[in-house]
Amino acid sequence: MTEAGGPAISDAALPGNADAEGWRRLHPLSPLLRGGVVLIVVAGIVFANFRDHFVNLFFSDRFTGGGVEVDMNGEGDIVDLYEYLAAEGLLLLVLGGVLLVLVLIIVFSWVAWRFATYRIGEDDVEARRGVLFRTHRRAPLERIQSVNLQRSLLARAFGLTKIEIVTAGQGGKVELAYLAHGDAKTVREQIVRRAAVKRGEGSAPGGFPGPSETPETAAAPRAAASGDNAFASGDYAVASGDRAAEASGATPDPATTAVGIDGRPYAPAGDRLSARAQDFADFDIDPAALAADALVKVPLGRLIGSIALGWEAVVVMLIAVLVVAGGAVFEPALILTVIPLGIVMVGIVFSQFNKGFNFALSRGRDAIRTGSGLTSTMTESIPFGRIHAVEARQPLLWRPLGWWRARITTAGHSVAQGGQNATQNVVLPVGTEADVLRVIEALLPGVGDDERGIAALRDALSGAGTGYLGAGPRAGWVLWFGRRRAGVAVAETGSADATLRIRRGALTRSLSIMPLVRAQSVQLRRPLVHRWLGLASLQAHTVLGPVRMEMRGIALEPARELFDVLEADVLRIQNAEARELSDAQDRLPERPPARVAEAGTGIPAPRAAGAEPHGPARLADVPGDVPGDAPGNVPGAP
């Protein structure tokens, strides 16, 4: 199988040797990294701290019989224990016990490794593990939301990487822990490319000219988005001359090449130690993003400034000042409560710094890739078309500096991750307006890809919001200071790239964008206060996530008119998408008969080629990405 515009998709490209059924094994050190190393470390700590107690428990009857004296007060040295065991002839016995424990750990680890396998097929990715209790997880390629590489500090030291495959649905996750770092990148690329082919997309438009555009026309909007030469600035550390030189040569294979912070591959390693060091310092940026002007990075100084001026740090500091002032005036003991506040502050700052350190977003052939981390690193690859909504946010103290943060909604995260963990969905910790425009263009192809679209986004972010339906005349009672900025619009009405855009916020400005193809339902509702004031609320539902697509405080009649336009566009676009998906499935080559579900696994057989991927598309049952979501409803006008 091959992919247009990209490397061939073949089982031969995958690491290791497969058995007759296509199953491959993980790295031999995987069991130790999952639990064996922790066991050894804990055993060493326990022995080092409680050795005297162990000796007292097992050999106390011999201490009073003369011979060797052992200090039982915990003030002696390990030499005392060694001399006693040697004198009593127990040294070999103890060493044999320690050796036996190590052998048992190695044997059990080897057995666990033999039973941990994975398989990448034409329809899904599967993983099996367990000896006494077997688990078998399956991720259909067409349901994959993102493919992540996770590397803890210990895993980086061993040169290993864990692959996390996130699918639609709550708890839908398949983990391959662990593979060698280069092998993990190869597997990641194969999964992303196969998923793109499975969805009928072939080579996605991320950073590469499409079939109807030339490299010159593809690069023009990006240059307009950031000025004459934005990527020559220090923020991106990319020089146009070097870019042209790299574009003229062969693009390094991102599956096997370690990449530096500037996005350029390291020089070939001369020995294994240098190769291991390069793997440890690999920033996993797609080298093709350099030639495509699709690399966004966060400078260290800007990251530190954004954390210091963020709401979390400001609120904690204000509380600390109030506590100290209260202690000085009323009770000095109150000042002691600053200590737990300081601990909380340090935890918040380090978490944000660790997740934003060396952040880089690059747009590759088939996916958007984000990576960051100081001690432990994580690289997330999100296939095109799996992003349901994008939101740019600007806290009050960031406004003079022109900084923004961008986050997204994708399927596959848990309730806590989707609704409460803001860092889980952040795709730009802090950036300028030009950075946000590039991120939106990268995440939502067709949005902001020409001068007119860029101007509209700039106006929506920090301008007057021309063309947006504003809040009603009495909306100040429900929106307060946010009434002036509040607005909603349906952009590109009548095209396949139509989006719903909502502006809101006073202390924290925001712009939310959702492609109408991702809407699961639209709703016009009138809560009690809205009914009293003659207002309405318009909301578009998508999968669970931090981006909420709702505009409150709209005058009733304009809200009804916008609802009718939104309903018609959603039905038109999603019916067209359902037909395209069906046609793409029909064009796929004939596949072998479906596998019989493995006994006890509950894995259904793949859908036959050419089968209808969705039922008739209607707004009351819009095709969604999350199984089990409540079907959408289209309430009539109140």
Model pLDDT for residues 164-204, shown as the tens digit of each residue: 998 876 667 889 988 998 889 989 988 988 888 877 665 43
Q: Which two tokens stand for residue 473?
A: 């005349």
CB proximity list for 30: less than 8 A, separation 6 or greater: 112, 113, 116, 160, 177, 178
Confidence of residue 224 (pLDDT cuts 50, 70, 90): very low
The burial class, CB within 10 Å (0-12 / 13-18 / 19+), for 596 is exposed
Measured over the CA atoms of residue 574, residue 579, residue 581 and residue 584, the dihedral's sign is negative
Q: Structure pTM?
A: 0.72
Pick the more confident residue, 286 or 237: 286
The pairing of strands 521-525 and 508-515 is unpaired
Closest to 567 (Cα-Cα) out of 540, 547, 536: 540
Q: Which amino acid is at 432?
A: T
Q: Which two tokens stand for residue 234?
A: 């220090």
Confidence of residue 384 (pLDDT cuts 50, 70, 90): confident
Is the separation of the CB atoms in 237 and 262 below 8 Å? Answer: yes
Q: Which two tokens stand for residue 110?
A: 């080897």
Is it the case that residue 571 has pLDDT exceeding 80?
yes
Give the model's pLDDT for residue 562. Answer: 94
Is it the case that residue 554 has pLDDT exceeding 80?
yes
The burial class, CB within 10 Å (0-12 / 13-18 / 19+), for 409 is buried
The three-class DSSP label of residue 138 is strand
Closest to 355 (Cα-Cα) out of 375, 382, 385: 375
Pick the more confident residue, 239 or 493: 493
Give the model's pLDDT for residue 604. Answer: 43
Integer Rg of the chain from CA = 29
Q: Which amino acid is at 225?
A: A
Is the separation of the CB atoms in 338 and 320 below 8 Å? Answer: yes
What would the mean pLDDT of 449-465 be, rounded to a whole number? 91
Model pLDDT for residues 306-356, shown as the tens digit of each residue: 999 988 888 888 888 888 888 888 877 777 777 887 888 888 888 888 888
Give the model's pLDDT for residue 432. Answer: 94
Closest to 501 (Cα-Cα) out of 484, 487, 485, 517: 487
Candidate from 253-267, 288-302, 455-469 with smallest mean pLDDT: 253-267
CB atoms within 10 A of CB 319: 15
Measured over the CA atoms of residue 432, residue 433, residue 437 and residue 439, the dihedral's sign is positive
Is it the case that residue 597 has pLDDT exceeding 50?
no
What would the mean pLDDT of 10-36 be, rounded to a whole number? 80
Give the model's pLDDT for residue 581. Answer: 72
